[in-house]
Amino acid sequence: MVVPLYHILAFAGLLFTIGVVGVLFRRNAIIVFMSVEIMLNAVNLAFVAFSRYHGNVNGQVFVFFIMTLAAAEVAVGLAIIVSLFRNLRTSDISEIRLMKH
């Protein structure tokens, strides 16, 4: 049985929306960060789906690149969060307002 393309795309869209909502409304920096990862993986899923659908391997190559990038980004992002916590004693981003006018 082949799962139809639009099922997968709808699932990817759902995942992406969950990620967006998480980024926009959660306060814990780590959760926000995880939400970003969910968005990335939603995109990955869409890539793989299209790759299968079109019989073109390029999409899967993209996915590998994105995963590599995401790994690097996690390293940097976590470092930022740790350093923020060290300096401000909080990981609640609604309290971190250093860029306020």
Partner 1 sequence: MAETLYLITLFPLLGFLINGLAGRWLSEKQSGYIASLAVLGSFLVSAQLLLAFLALPAEERLLTQTLFSWIPVGDLNIQVGYRFDPLSAVMALVVSGVGLLIHIYSIGYMQGDPGVRRYFSFLNLFTFMMLNLVLADNLVLMFLGWEGVGLCSYLLIGFWFEDEAKARAGMKAFIVNRIGDAGFIVALILLYHQFGTLSISEIAQAAPGAQIGRGFFTATTLLMFLGAVGKSAQIPLYVWLPDAMAGPTPVSALIHAATMVTAGVYLIARNSVLFSLAPATMSIVAVIGIITAFFAATIAITQNDIKKVLAYSTISQLGYMFTAVGVGAFSAGIFHLMTHAFFKGLLFLGAGSVIHGLKGEQDLRSMGGLKEQLPTTHWTMLVGVMAIAGIPGLSGFFSKDEILWAAFSRHEGFSWLWLAGIVTAGITAFYMFRLFFRTFYGKAAWQEAGYQPHESPSVMTIPLVLLAFLSILGGYVGIPAALGGVNQFHHFLEPVLAVYPGVGAAAVQHPSQGLELLLMGVSTVVVLGGIYYAYRVYVQQPTLADDLAQRMGLLHRLSFNKYFVDEAYHLLIVRPFQALAEGLWKWFDIQVVDGAVNGSGHAIARISGAIRRIQSGLIQHYASIILLGVIFILIYLYID
Determine, following the binding rule CB under 8 A, whether residue 76 of this chain makes contact with partner 1: no
* Range in contact with partner 1 (rule: CB under 8 A) among 6-14, 17-25, 53-61, 65-73: 17-25
Q: How far apart are CA 96 and CA 29, in angstroms?
A: 10
* Range in contact with partner 1 (rule: CB under 8 A) among 7-15, 20-28, 49-57, 70-78: 20-28
Q: How far apart are CA 57 and CA 19, in angstroms?
A: 26
Tokens of 49: 């789906």
Helix axes 58-88, 29-54, angle to 10 degrees: 180
Interface of this chain with partner 1, residues 32 to 61, rule: CB under 8 A = 32
Compute and round to an integer the Cα radius of gyration of the chain.
Answer: 17
Q: How far is the CB of 101 from partner 1 (least distance, A)?
A: 4
Amino acid at 98: L
Determine, following the binding rule CB under 8 A, whether residue 93 of this chain makes contact with partner 1: yes
Determine, following the binding rule CB under 8 A, whether residue 84 of this chain makes contact with partner 1: no
Residues making contact with partner 1 (CB under 8 A): 20, 23-25, 32, 93-94, 96-101
